Structure 1
Amino acid sequence: MSIHAIDTARPAPVSDTPVLLGRPVRPEIAPETLSRFGDNRWDLTAGIFEDHSDSTSINFKRLPQPWRDAVKGYLWQLINEDHPRALPSARAGIRCSLRSVSFVKGPIERLIIWALGRGLESFAELDAARLNEYLAHLGDSGVSYGSRQHSVAEVRRLWAYRGLVPPRLAMPDAPPWDDAPARELLGARSDVQPHNRIPRIGDATLVPLFAWAIRFVEEISWDIRPNFGEFRRTIVGGREYRQAGRRLYEAERHQKLTQVLAQLRAAGLGLPGRVLTDGSREIRWAHLARLTGTLGATHAKYDRSVIEASGLQIDDNAYLTPGCAVTVDGIPWHPGSMKYDDALDYARLLHTACYIVIAYLSGMRPGEVLTLTAGCLHHDPERDLWTLTGTRWKGATGPHGGKAEEGATRENPWVVHPLVAQAVTVAEELGDGRLLFPKSIRPKENHPKTRREWVRPGQARTATQVAVDIASFAEWVNSFCRANGRPDTIPNDPDGRITPSRFRRTLAWHIVRRPRGLVAAAIQYGHINVHVTQGYAGNYTSGFPDDLAFEQWLERIDQATDLEAYLDTGGHLSGPAAGELEHRVRGTGKKFAGKILLTGRQARKLLQDPLLQVYPGRGLHCVFDRAKARCITATDDGPDLSGCQPDCSNIARTSPDVEQLHARLARLPDDTLAPPIRHQRTTAIRKSIQSIIEAHQEGTP
């Protein structure tokens, strides 16, 4: 099988040509396992270097011949070309990532099915009238606006390659739809809301979720880590024994067995056992062998006298010797010793808690967290700053102008909270390998299972797996709370399951809104707002400044909406900037009503709009006008709300602002015995506040 020659330095592919001929491939992938051009399913995962990535493939089986070979030729070129073609309205051609290429087939297949239904033999028949028919078909198909937009974009990409694709896919020379913007072709979209499409985690869910994650990292980990360490040693020790092919002679075996029996007795444990259906107990010989580094059959056959002489009873299960001593508000989180069979499950809970703390308090993208490696944590003792080094994937570009397959080391480290440093340390201990969050923290089996034909090459957990881990973590917490009558359960979030991407959005919201009453909000968010914004968000390649701008824009719109509702219900404004505040509030409603932002960069630009320069302060609203401001220097971008001057012309007040002044007035001491200077100052402040309150009340309807 072959297709026509294409305009690249490589010859046209034949059936046995590797699909990833012009792409770097993960070093552990054997070349003979790579997908070939003639296959009906192309596995692209071998060319994806993100350890946290899911498997990615393209299935051509549903495409009829001869269209199938033509589409294969087109996608093979997108994968392997060195000089991508520029799309209409694009400044330059950018090489598609492999994941992006996997999304191209769907829209092309949709167009082929439509064309076959109308008897078309090739895309050369797609004149302007036919394309308009297809556009109408998309509108009637019931697919989402995003899918229609994607279909339009892929038609245009295909047109850009019209001189290079197989003849069946070659489109006419006239640009599709005369290069009209997709929003004009598809109309205004109605399937999105004017807010970030990734919902933040609601406070009712976040507060207990984060509190329990911290509790696991700071407290419960002191029980889980030593027990899991013993669990790991028993597995690894048994495996090393078998790999080395060692045989313990009787004296050496008896000595080792005597040591293990003494350790069990010192821990208050009996012999590892199990309860049979008739209520009797038997020794778990295999587990005893794990502890001694020999074979269970050997102990059962030759060492019964030594075991009986120890006087140890048979336990109902196999228990680990470290035990559990940590309590939660006086209640043991785990009564008694931990079962060997449960150690891995508890370690996974702790591992999940580490992810929650790191992801939420750092603002890193899911892939950036999941691909952190051992040794990524650093401490600067002079500035007392903890930093993380790692790989960024989004926005990392290669010499070809497209996505850098192997990512890029982040130029500036992430500045993180000390809690993150503690979580990283715990995760390193649990992972015990290159990655902090590997596919599995369970050591290899004593008897390795037969390897499957295909295993995902990425060695980190995926975002999907982490979402399942978080659900399991919440389930355990809720079960513990119900059993002990605790109120701090983790309720389901109204916007669905907690996915890793939602932590970043939630952090941005809290930095901007600074809610009070959340877990250590005053310290943690203050630290993050300063250090993370400078160290992490300060670098625009991170994308976090855009997230912050998005939240700031939403906050300004929410404030204006609330103020407009206040005015519509007869609310009163006072102060020198009262008229300007009402003008900006009304103007914001008219200008931004129904405004939809799809990127943080748009929000960053719109934040500069003069209408949005309104800042709530303590007992006032600053209607910021640089020319009139009394609190700023020449280099300040906005007002200093901590340094408001009472006579500033930018001040306006609402009735809720005046209520804050009432509260402040009530807190002022009226101590006539105080030193004269202090008493005079307090009296002057009291009179000033009282005059502001009276002035507001005089104008109240």
Structure 2
Amino acid sequence: MTTAHAAAVPVLAGRHPFRGLPVIETAGLRRDPRSPRPVFDQDVWDLTGLADAPVVMSRHRKILDFTAIASSRWRQVAREYLLARLAPLHPDVATLPWAFRVPLNPNSLWSELKHLALWFNYLTSVGVTSLSQVRQHHCDAYLATVSRTTADPNRPLSPSTTAARVRIPQFLALYTEILSDRYQPGFTPWAGRGADEVAGYVRSDENRVPPVPDALLRPLLANCLYLLETIGPPLAAEVAAARAADDREAASQRSLLVHQIDKVREAVDQRRGAGIPAPQAQSSTVAQRLKGGWDPDDPLLHMAWHPFVVETAGAMGHRRQLETLRPELERWVSQCGLQPPWCRDAARIPRHGDGELVPWALPMARHQLDATVYVVTSAAYFLTSALSGMRTSELAELTSGCRQQEQRPGGGTRYRLVSRRIKGEAFGGTEDAWVVIEDVHHAVTTAEALTSAPPGQRLFAKASNNSNRRYTALRSWVNGEHGQRLGLEPLPDGPVNPRALRRTLAMAIAQRPHGLMATKLHLKHVSVATTEGYAARPGGHQAAFAAEVAAEEEAEHLRLTVAAYEDYQRGILPSGQGARDLITAFKAADQALDRHEAGPVTVIDDRRVERVLKAKAKTLHIGVGNYCWFSDPSKALCLKLAGTPDADKPLMGMCDSARCPQATHHPQHRQVWADHAESTQAVFLGNPRLSKPERARAQTAFDRATRIVAEIDTAGHADEELAP
């Protein structure tokens, strides 16, 4: 419902249908028994106890502060409207003729309240004290005010944002009967016009999310793979040691006993004798010591004394014990120096790119270790997003223990990630599973090891689970001294988030077989996993993603068909056995277009060309070195060779485009065949020990490739006749 309707209704003075009602229970939602129980009449609704709230519903969206509305009278109206939206089955709401019948998602309450505050506070600022005083000129003035940014009044907001601000004044008219203050009977803001029309917002089914540029995607995936496969295992071992130290410190409740002094002294002497540096304290510890009166020139100022005592004696180390052992400690620091305690003696690993063996990490402080963990878990986050197509909400719902692994009867392993569908589902979502490739399964395994999350705890749901923040941290680490020491390729700045990565994956699968997303990541593997997940759960996570892939594939096939048609118009003709039929189809398109007058602008002409060629584009299947125009299964050579004449799509893996009557070659395929001819000549024909049968087969392949290259080169002349 986009247009508000309000009939003349009697004013029912003193009617307050929601007074005293608990908000969460009235909305039919579940509440944690130990949480706050907000009541309708309160000026702040604390919804932090919503039991089924998804992770993407952050804490600040669960606190509804109605005091943001200046007028106490309109705070009451705002509460009435929002609870009516939450509880459409409430007896007083269900009888309203124009009310929404689907409950408002609680995650949207915060935004709705923000727009209510904009409307009501504007009315207050212009001297309106009751909704009954509102007239259309107030609405028009409000539109002029809220359709521009606060920082720059000359800069308009996007139409979609403005439309959201227009809906609230209109929607209030739908609930006139139960509001304590209401518009004049029969009045509706912008009557007869929907919010989209008022704001000039034109909805489109086109996916406008820009994909991640290839120049960013390739190094991102390559670096993420390296971090997870090479850095992940030793980092997980170091993290386990750090957490064990945390547990020891938590258990060290007593002070160091007198008889343990000698034990600590012995440990100091042993380490000094072995040349092991003393542990270096963090900068925060040093700052605290200086504030507490330590001498800035004290040789022990930068030594981590307390963690050392916990490690050696399992007790708390106080300043008085440090002074007792000061001579031994100063000799240790003087002879062996100081060094951060973590990642000492790191194992050597092959550096990314050149394979030179280098330590996987240099000694680091605890906060640096935690930062490295965040970087590598961010790599797991982006790799999972990029190779599965999961949305932000679905990634946030992944928990420790979400991995499933199944051995297939015919051999091989199928990997799944159990998550929850949030978008388009009832509040709380629905459990579902993604079929993923092994790289994604391994990424989540590494994230579990690094976070040490107990079963059921979210893996990517911390306060820092912001994709921009994650990418900034990952990029800074990779481009900084740590990543460059490991030979990682610098990452450019750019938009990297699950929406963009999902669009990129959909487009990459749709436009296959144009290469790899990154080293070792074949798109066909991702495509197979996604397709299987869709087939196993037609209404699940991957059904929507499969639909996006199909839409991108249809758009890509239409683009390629139009491009081939434009080449034909410029005299660049296709070659191959199917060229004559394709040219005939293009001539028919010429005739269809000639029957219509030219459009007033080029864009209209482009759309007309696409409409004419749409049917032909539906028959297109993309091969590595050819196009297959699969319009007649009986002519398909691949189906004849496979003995499956009734198949509804070609078998591109068996394609022999040099002989198939439905295959064509185009200029963009030339390099594929030229490379094939060159490699065949170098690897096979250039091998003197090749057997005669193998040489004959290689010669046939070489001759076919060179012939196709020659045909592509000569097909660009419009005056040449195609060979029959």
Q: TM-score range by the shorter chain?
A: 0.7 to 0.9
Relative to 1, partners in 2 of residues 1:638 and 1:166: Cα closer, same or farther, differing over 3 Å? farther
User: Does 1:158 pair with 2:158?
Assistant: no
Offset, 1:434: 3.4
Question: Which residue is equivalent to 1:71?
Answer: 78
Give how far 1:616 is off: 3.9
Residue aligning to 2:9: none
Q: Deviations over 1:37-82 (max 9, x none)?
A: 4444444443262234323044432343422321221112222443
Question: Compared with structure 1, are the counterparts of its residues 659 and 608 closer, same or farther at alpha carbon in structure 2 (3 Å cutoff)?
Answer: same
Secondary structure in 2 matching 1:390: strand
| Corresponding residue of 2:435 | 415
- The answer to whether the Cα contact below 8 Å between 1:354 and 1:424 also exists between their aligned partners in 2 is yes
Contact 1:269 1:321 in 2 (8 A): no
Structure 1 residue 661, shift from structure 2 partner: 6.0
- Answering whether residue 242 of structure 2 is matched by residue 231 of structure 1, we say yes
Contact persistence 2:377–2:450 (CA under 8 A): yes
| Counterpart among 165, 172, 175 of residue 186 in structure 2 | 172
Corresponding residue of 2:491: 490
Find the partner of 1:404 among 419, 422, 427: 427
1:247-326, aligned counterparts within 5 Å? 249-251=257-259, 255=263, 268-270=276-278, 272=280, 277-278=296-297, 280-282=299-301, 283-291=303-311, 292-297=313-318, 299-300=321-322, 313=335, 315-320=337-342, 323-326=345-348
CA contact (8 A) 1:324 1:334 kept: yes
3-state secondary structure, aligned to 1:70: helix
Q: Does 1:428 align with 2:436?
A: no
**Could you report, residue by residue, the CA deviation over 1:592-627 in whole angstroms, capped at 9, with x for unpaired residues?**
958999xxxxxxx99985554433445543344247
The structure-2 alpha-carbon separation of the partners of 1:571 and 1:593, relative to structure 1 and needing over 3 Å to count, comes to: same
- RMSD, aligned α-carbons: 5.0
Question: How far 1:569 moved relative to its partner?
Answer: 3.9
- Counterpart of 1:344 (choices 357, 370, 377) is 370
> Which residue of 490, 499, 505 maps to 1:501?
499
Measure, in 1, the Cα distance between the counterparts of 2:42 and 2:196. Answer: 38
- Cα–Cα, structure 1 residues 247 and 110, in superposed 2: closer, same or farther, change >3 Å? closer
Matches within 5 A, 1:394-543: 394-395=422-423, 397=425, 403-405=426-428, 407-410=429-432, 413-434=433-454, 460-462=461-463, 465-480=466-481, 484=485, 486=487, 488-493=489-494, 496=495, 498-514=496-512, 515-516=514-515, 518-520=517-519, 523-535=521-533, 539-542=538-541, 543=544
Q: Distance in 1 between matches of 2:79 and 2:612?
A: 43
Q: Which residue of 2 aligns with 1:393?
A: 421
Shifted more, 202-211 versus 659-668: the winner is 659-668
Q: What TM-score do you get using the length of structure 1 for normalisation?
A: 0.75
Give the deviation of 1:254 after TM superposition: 5.1
Bigger CA drift: 156-165 or 641-650? 641-650
Counterpart of 2:381 (choices 355, 369, 383) is 355
Give the drift of 1:168: 1.4
Aligned counterpart in structure 2 of residue 621 of structure 1, from 624, 627, 630: 627
Query: Which of these residues, 47, 50, 53, is aligned with residue 49 of structure 1?
Result: 53
Say how many residue pairs are matched: 647
Over the matched positions of the two proteins, sequence identity in percent amounts to 18
Structure 2: unaligned runs, 5 residues or longer? 1-11, 149-155, 287-294
1:295 Cα deviation after fit: 1.3
Distance 2:256 2:602 in 1: 79
Task: Return the match for 1:212 from 209, 223, 233.
Answer: 223
Counterpart residue identity of residue 503, structure 1: L
Note if 1:146 corresponds to 2:160. yes
The offset of 1:646, in angstroms, is: 6.1
Is 529-538 or 34-43 further displaced after alignment?
34-43
Corresponding residue of 2:397: 371
Provide the residue aligned with 1:451 in structure 2. none
**CA deviation string 1:359-392 (max 9, x = no partner):** 2222222222222222221222334324334332
Counterpart in the other structure of 1:453: none
Identify if the C-alpha distance between structure 1 residues 279 and 12 changes in structure 2 by more than 3 Å, giving closer, same or farther: closer
The amino acid across from 1:220 in the alignment is I
Q: Give 1:240's aligned residue.
A: 251
Distance 1:146 1:316, change over 3 A: same
Q: Partners in 2 of 1:131 and 1:224 — Cα distance?
A: 62
Q: Secondary structure of 2:252's match?
A: helix
Say if 1:64 and 1:657 are closer, same or farther in 2 by CA, change over 3 A. Answer: same
Displacement of 1:319: 1.2
Structure 1: runs of 5+ lacking an equivalent: 398-402, 440-458, 598-604
Is the Cα contact below 8 Å between 2:633 and 2:648 reproduced in 1? no
Q: For residue 393 of structure 2, what is the amino acid of its counterpart?
A: G
Question: Can you list the C-alpha shifts for 1:406-432, whole angstroms capped at 9, x where unaligned?
Answer: x2221xx32222222222222212222
Aligned to 1:24: 29
Query: Measured at CA, do residues 347 and 266 of structure 1 come closer, stay the same or move farther in structure 2, by a change above 3 Å?
Result: farther
The one-letter amino acid paired with 2:348 is V
For the residue of structure 2 that corresponds to 1:470, the secondary structure is: helix
Q: Is the 8 A contact 2:115 2:168 kept in 1?
A: yes
Task: For 1:88-167, list aligned pairs within 5 A.
Answer: 93-112=101-120, 142-151=156-165, 153-154=167-168, 157-167=171-181
Return closer, same or farther for 1:699/1:130 CA change in 2, 3 Å cut-off: same
Using the TM superposition, give the Cα deviation of residue 299 of structure 1 relative to its aligned residue in structure 2, in angstroms: 3.6
Contact 2:278 2:339 in 1 (8 A): no
Structure 1 residues 319 and 559: alpha-carbon distance in aligned structure 2, compared to 1, 3 A threshold: same
Partners of 1:42 and 1:107 in 2: CA distance: 17
Aligned counterparts of 1:317 and 1:125: Cα–Cα separation in 2:
73
Deviates most, 581-590 or 231-240:
581-590
> Given that residues 57 and 107 in structure 2 are in contact (C-alpha distance below 8 angstroms), is that contact kept between their aligned partners in structure 1?
no
Displacement of 1:681: 6.8
Kept in 2: contact 1:225–1:430 (CA 8 A):
yes
* Residues 608 and 77 of structure 1: CA distance in aligned 2, closer, same or farther (over 3 Å): farther
Matched residue type, 2:53: F
Query: What secondary structure does 2:405 align onto?
Result: strand
Alpha carbons 1:508, 1:548 under 8 Å: kept: yes
Partner SS, residue 399 of structure 2: coil
Quick one: distance in 2 between partners of 1:321 and 1:114? Answer: 58
TM-score by length of 2: 0.73
Q: Residue type matched to 1:489 in 2?
A: P
Quick check: 2:479–2:491 contact (8 Å CA) kept in 1?
A: yes
Partner residue of 1:12? Answer: 18
Once the two structures are TM-superposed, the CA of residue 651 in structure 1 deviates from its matched residue by 4.5
| Equivalent in the alignment of 2:289 | none
Moved more, 151-160 or 60-69: 151-160
User: How far apart are 1:19 and its partner, in Å?
Assistant: 6.3
Q: Distance in 1 between matches of 2:587 and 2:95?
A: 48
Partner Cα separation in structure 1 for residue 368 and residue 171 of structure 2: 53
Larger mean CA deviation between 582-591 and 213-222 belongs to: 582-591
Write out aligned runs for 1:583-602 (5 A).
none
